[in-house]
Amino acid sequence: MDGVAQRGAASWENGTLAPVDRLRTERADSPTPGLVEGTEPGAGQKSAMFIHAQSFEDLTAAAEQEVGREAELDQPGECGEDLKVLVGEQAIEEQHNSDIASESRPKEEDVSSETWRSHRKHVFVLSEAGKPIYSRYGTEEALSSTMGVMMALVSFVEAEKNIIRSIHADGCKVVFLAKSPLVLVGVYRTCQSDKELLRELQYIYYQIVSLLTLTQLNHIFKHKQNYDLRRLLAGSEYLTDNLLHRLDRDPGLLLSAVTCLPLASSARDVVSSSLQAAKSKSLVFSILLAGDCLVTLVRKKDQFLHHIDLHLVFNLVGSSSSFREGEGWTPICLPKFNTAGFFHAHISYLEPASKLCLILVSTDREDFFNMSDCKQRFLERLNKRSAYQALKEAVKCPSYSVEQVGIPELRHFLYKSKSSGLYTSPEFPAVYQSDEEQERLMGLYQDLHSHLHHPTRPLRSFYRCSETENLLAWVTSGFELYLCFSPLGTKALAVSAVNKLLKWIRKEEDRLFILSPLTY
């Protein structure tokens, strides 16, 4: 293993910088990709689609900065009356809801057993009163005393005006995240850094907020400290379960980025402009997904979507088959946009068996029929264009093979353009076909990521040899790159591959990225 801290190791680091607003064709021809944010392959030509933040750091920042937003949101404050009713309702309901909770989750597991202990990542969510809210494995009931101990630890340290962050013991890490009124605790057997683990807990926190809003959470616990929040989360635990699963497998969550469906830019432009034309006063974001890939995103001028919010939308749509029937209409809080209010999302598939799912995010909960109308207008427009056929073809093969890049010994890579917040990655090659192998590779990437983003000693590049593969990670102000080579590769080969890969991505960026995001 060797790491190069804060020092560029390749001569091409000072390559020519392509101006941001150059024409696409020129950019594609540029011999040396720009390495400064905004000029790297995949950088958007106009403004970025996402909130432009130091994405990763943003996540772990101690203080939440709530940015004022223009769009008017549905404030759950007006539901105060309903809430009081909810908080005070009879015992029969408690009974009923806990039945559902245990029934819909076949996770009865003996919490004193060895198998329970041996899970690699445990996650617990509790209230500040120490009441269990969520546990990944085993039922919350069985774990209530464990969670009580956790809460005792948190309060004990807090009493001394301190914050407990983590405990390391015996190959095991316990990481704490106190986000009033919730406390999240992760118990891990992994070599990921505390920072990475905190990032994962943050996602879980945002998942819960996105279901209820922070305002509602605060309201509930202010009125009834030992409220059993599982009543309100009943029937949604699978979202948290799935998000945890994604955290182990989805490079997008690791990179704080989103991947796009590879599609000819001419076709994507038609899809985007059709979506742009189907606008409505209350519409803030129109998002078209193909499975876990973004096809296009159109947003209201000056309103940005944060990648975390987009990942929560991906998780919602990907976890639930209920949107397949008819048209879905659901309140959703996008916590990085605004933790206080609900948006209302119209969610539907373009065709019955299609992977293409359209999400129209509106500020108005009464606007269902308007949104339904927008979707129809979009479909009508799209149906008349050949681009729709091209899109449907593209959905059939949503990825590409690493062979297309033509770099010997290269097995897989992740490339993120920092300014656009988008990443690209080929499909997993034959050696990583099984779920375990894919998770193992993701684990290796996570490890590299930890080193590049180390809180006190971040590395610019990192090369690592092992018996099963050689890995290279590289970060500049413009991009982040992770490469996986066969164990036959050499370091020299890896370094020279970087340049070749960047050129290939530059050549393909039209297809792999969304270069000209639209606003209404």
Partner 1 sequence: MGENLRGGAQLQNDTLRKSLRTLKVKLVLLGSSGVGKSSLALRFSKDEFRRTSPTVGCAYLTRVVHLRNVTLRLEIWDTAGQEKYHSVTPLYYRGAQAALLVYDISKRETFIRAQVWLKELEKQYIPGSTVIWLVGNKGDLATHRQVSVEEGQSLANDRGLFFTEASALSGDQINELLLAIAHRVYECIGVQQEGLSEWKETPLVDLRNRDKSSRLASCC
Residue from 132, 328, 398, 489 that binds partner 1 (CB under 8 A)? 328
Rounded Cα distance, 37 and 39, in Å = 6
Binding flag, residue 99, partner 1 (CB under 8 A):
yes
Rounded Cα distance, 434 and 439, in Å = 9
Cβ closer to partner 1: 316 or 414?
316
Structure tokens at 335: 């916590």
Q: How far is the CB of 351 from partner 1 (least distance, A)?
A: 7
Cβ closer to partner 1: 68 or 88?
88
Q: How far is the CB of 202 from partner 1 (least distance, A)?
A: 21
Rounded Cα distance, 229 and 519, in Å = 38
Residue from 13, 57, 108, 366 that binds partner 1 (CB under 8 A)? 366
Please give the C-alpha separations between residue 255 and each of 63, 188, 263, 350, 419, in angstroms, as whole numbers.
21, 20, 22, 29, 13
Q: How far is the CB of 238 from partner 1 (least distance, A)?
A: 7
| Coil, strand or helix at 412 | strand
Residue from 373, 409, 437, 439 that binds partner 1 (CB under 8 A)? 373
Residue from 2, 26, 57, 82 that binds partner 1 (CB under 8 A)? 82
Binding flag, residue 393, partner 1 (CB under 8 A):
no
Residue from 212, 287, 498, 512 that binds partner 1 (CB under 8 A)? 212
Stretch that binds partner 1, among 42-50, 97-105, 249-257, 283-291 (CB under 8 A): 97-105
Of 129, 62, 157, residue with least CA distance to 166: 157
Residue from 6, 95, 162, 456 that binds partner 1 (CB under 8 A)? 95
Residue from 330, 370, 399, 438 that binds partner 1 (CB under 8 A)? 330
Residue from 32, 47, 372, 438 that binds partner 1 (CB under 8 A)? 372
Binding flag, residue 231, partner 1 (CB under 8 A):
yes
Cβ closer to partner 1: 127 or 420?
127
Stated as kind and residue range, the H or E segment containing 471 is strand 470-475
DSSP 428: P
Whether the ω angle into residue 76 lies within 30 degrees of 0, i.e. cis, is no
Rounded Cα distance, 359 and 46, in Å = 23
Binding flag, residue 238, partner 1 (CB under 8 A):
yes
Burial (CB < 10 A; 0-12, 13-18, 19+), residue 409, is: middle
Binding flag, residue 76, partner 1 (CB under 8 A):
yes
Q: How far is the CB of 292 from partner 1 (least distance, A)?
A: 17
Please give the C-alpha separations between residue 93 and each of 98, 134, 215, 222, 459, in angstroms, as whole numbers.
8, 19, 23, 21, 54
Residue from 12, 116, 137, 368 that binds partner 1 (CB under 8 A)? 368
Binding flag, residue 65, partner 1 (CB under 8 A):
no
Of 41, 30, 19, residue with least CA distance to 501: 41
Structure tokens at 363: 């500020």
Q: Is the dihedral of CA 173, 178, 179, 182 positive or negative?
A: positive
Residue from 234, 298, 422, 515 that binds partner 1 (CB under 8 A)? 234
Cβ closer to partner 1: 330 or 516?
330
Q: How far is the CB of 310 from partner 1 (least distance, A)?
A: 17
Q: How far is the CB of 407 from partner 1 (least distance, A)?
A: 40
Specify which residues 342 forms β-bridges with.
74
CB 441 within 8 A of CB 250: no
Stretch that binds partner 1, among 17-25, 287-295, 326-334, 460-468 (CB under 8 A): 326-334
Residue from 23, 62, 91, 92 that binds partner 1 (CB under 8 A)? 92
Specify which residues 482 forms β-bridges with.
414, 473
Residue from 110, 158, 351, 435 that binds partner 1 (CB under 8 A)? 351
DSSP string, 477-494: SSEEEEEEE-TT--HHHH
Please give the C-alpha separations between residue 314 and each of 112, 258, 278, 341, 447, in angstroms, as whole numbers.
35, 10, 22, 20, 24
| Coil, strand or helix at 87 | helix
Q: How far is the CB of 208 from partner 1 (least distance, A)?
A: 11
CB 486 within 8 A of CB 265: no
Cβ closer to partner 1: 82 or 393?
82
Cβ closer to partner 1: 318 or 517?
318
Stretch that binds partner 1, among 297-305, 314-322, 476-484, 495-503 (CB under 8 A): 314-322
Give the end-to-end CA distance of the chain in Å, rounded to a whole number: 49
Binding flag, residue 41, partner 1 (CB under 8 A):
no
Q: What are phi and psi of 348, to 5 degrees?
A: -155, 155
Binding flag, residue 383, partner 1 (CB under 8 A):
yes
Cβ closer to partner 1: 100 or 172?
100
Rounded Cα distance, 188 and 514, in Å = 37
Cβ closer to partner 1: 367 or 509?
367
Rounded Cα distance, 226 and 502, in Å = 54
Cβ closer to partner 1: 108 or 325?
325
Residues lying near partner 1 in the complex (CB under 8 A): 76, 79, 82-83, 86, 92-93, 95-97, 99-100, 103-104, 211-212, 231-236, 238, 316, 319-332, 345, 347, 351-352, 365-366, 368, 372-373, 376-377, 380, 383
